[in-house]
Amino acid sequence: MTITVNGNKYEHHGDGRVDQLLAELGSNPDAVAIMVNDQVIPKIERMGVVLKDGDRVEVLSFMGGG
Amino acid sequence: MGNEKKLNLGGQEFESRLLVGTGKFSSVAVMIEAIKASGAQLVTVALRRFNRERPSDDLLGPLAKLGITLVPNTSGARNAAEAVRAAMLGRELSGSRFVKVEIHPNPHHLMPDPLETFEASKQLAKEGFIVLPYMSADPVLAKRLEDVGCAAVMPLGSAIGSGHGLSTAAMVRMIIADSGIPVIVDAGLRAPSEAAAAMEMGCGAVLVNSAIAAAGDPVAMAAAFAVAVKAGTAARQAGLMTQSDTAVATSPLTSFLSGNQA
C-alpha cells in the first residue's frame, strides 16, 4: 500500500501494522512517537493500529532544542 | 518566589535552579558533559522527523542515562492546535508531564505568539501537563497564564539566541512582584552574571541554551552558570541592602587628622 511517511510517499509491503512499519524504517520503537492522520497514537495503542492506503504517518524523535 | 529552598514546579521539587537546553551543541558528547557540569535536573528537547539516513541521531538514549527530567518543547508549532499535538508526542517519548510551550511563527525574531501560547497552555494544563510557557515579558499575560494553571511562566530576557541578556529586566521584576508561580527567565542570556542578576531579582530559575552551547568551552561555561545561579539565589535569600540616592558612610567621618579638634 502507498502511505505518506514524514511527508514523503512510501510503499509499505507489510500488513499495515505500525510496529512493522517502524521495523521497516529501521527505527527504535521506544525512541519514536507516532502520529497517524494528525492523531497521536499512544505507545500502548500501537499494536491495535492498522494502516490503510493513503494514511499520513509522522514518525518523530527527539533532537536538540532549547 | 525565589525564597524557597527548592524550585517547585507543579508539585515536583528540584534542587537546581538552572534549566538547560540541548540545541546547538557541537556533539552529543559535549552536550552530555555540559549538562553534567550544569547540575541541571530539567533539560529541554525538541521534536523532529525521524531520519532514516541517520537513525542513531536520537537524543533520547544518551539523555535517559543522566537521570534528569526531560522537558519537550513545542518548537515548530505555528498555532495552539499544533502545540497541543507536539506536547502529546513529546510526552509519549519523555514519559514526563513537563512541556515547554513555544509558539513562535516568525523566524526573524522568534517572538512568542501570545494568543496561541495562552490557548495551548490552557488546554495542556487541563490535560494534566506541567506547563512552562515561553512568553514575552508581559505582566498581564503572565497573570493570565498563571490563572489557567501553568506551573511557571518563562518570560524572555531578549530574543532567542541573541545573547542580548536581560533586556526585559524591568518587566521581569513586575512579573515577579505579582506572580504566585515561579518566574523562569528563558532566552537571550549570554553571561553568567545575567543569570545571577535574574536570580537576585527573585526569579525561580533560568533556562540557558545558546550561552552554554555556543561558548568557547561549553562544559566550563555550564559550570560557570551553575555557580552564578547559586550565587544569585543565595544573594536573594540573604536579602540585598536598600539602595540610597546619597552616600551612606561606612567609615567614621570625624576628622581626627586635621589637628584642629575642639
Q: Which amino acid is at B187?
A: A
Instruction: Please answer yes or no on whether B47 and A63 come within 8 Å at the CB atom.
Output: yes
Average pLDDT value for residue range B21-41? 96
**What pLDDT, in 10s, does the model give residues B54-90?**
766 788 889 989 999 999 999 999 999 999 999 999 9
Instruction: Please answer yes or no on whether B23 and A25 come within 8 Å at the CB atom.
Output: no
Q: Which residues of B fall within a CB distance of 8 Å from A40?
A: 85, 88-89, 92
Decide if B58 touches A, using CB distance below 8 A: yes
Q: What is the ipTM of this complex?
A: 0.89
Decide if B55 touches A, using CB distance below 8 A: yes
**In the block, which residue shows the cell 537513525?**
B55
C-alpha cell at B12: 515536583
Interface of B with A in 174-193 (CB under 8 A): 186-187
In the predicted model, is pLDDT for residue B262 greater than 70? no
Query: Under a CB-based contact definition with an 8 Å cutoff, are residues B42 and B98 in contact?
Result: yes
**In the block, which residue shows the cell 542578576?**
B197
Tally the C-alpha atoms within 13 A of residue B148's C-alpha that lie toward its C-beta. Answer: 21
C-alpha cell at B74: 513545542
- From its phi and psi, is residue B106 left (phi > 0), alpha (psi between -120 and 50) or beta? beta
Residues 6+ apart with CB under 8 A from B49: A6, A7, A58, A59, A60, A61
Instruction: Please answer yes or no on whether A63 and B45 come within 8 Å at the CB atom.
Output: yes
Q: B181: closest CA among B5, B3, B6, B8? A: B8
**In the block, which residue shows the cell 532549547?**
A66
Decide if A26 touches B, using CB distance below 8 A: yes
In the predicted model, is pLDDT for residue B122 greater than 70? yes
User: How wide is the angle at C-alpha B258 spanned by C-alphas B252 and B259, nearest 5°?
Assistant: 120
* pLDDT value, residue B1: 47
Decide: helix, strand or coil at residue B174.
helix
Q: At what angle do helices B114-126 and B139-147 cross, to 10 degrees?
A: 20
Decide if A4 touches B, using CB distance below 8 A: no
Smallest Cβ–Cβ distance between B55 and the set A27, A34, A64 belongs to: A27
C-alpha cell at B52: 532514516
**What pLDDT, in 10s, does the model give residues A10-60?**
999 888 999 889 988 888 888 899 999 999 999 889 888 999 999 999 999
Decide if B227 touches A, using CB distance below 8 A: no
Query: Under a CB-based contact definition with an 8 Å cutoff, are residues B135 and B153 in contact?
Result: yes
Query: Under a CB-based contact definition with an 8 Å cutoff, are residues B184 and B152 in contact?
Result: yes
**What pLDDT, in 10s, does the model give residues B210-239?**
999 999 999 999 999 999 999 999 999 999
C-alpha cell at B131: 506547563
Smallest Cβ–Cβ distance between A66 and the set B21, B49, B63 belongs to: B21
Smallest Cβ–Cβ distance between B22 and the set A7, A33, A65 belongs to: A65
Distance between alpha carbon A66 and the CA centroid of its chain, in Å?
26
Query: Under a CB-based contact definition with an 8 Å cutoff, are residues B7 and B204 in contact?
Result: yes
- Interface with A, mutate which of B31, B44, B92 (most A CBs under 10 A): B92
Instruction: Please answer yes or no on whether B49 and A35 come within 8 Å at the CB atom.
Output: no
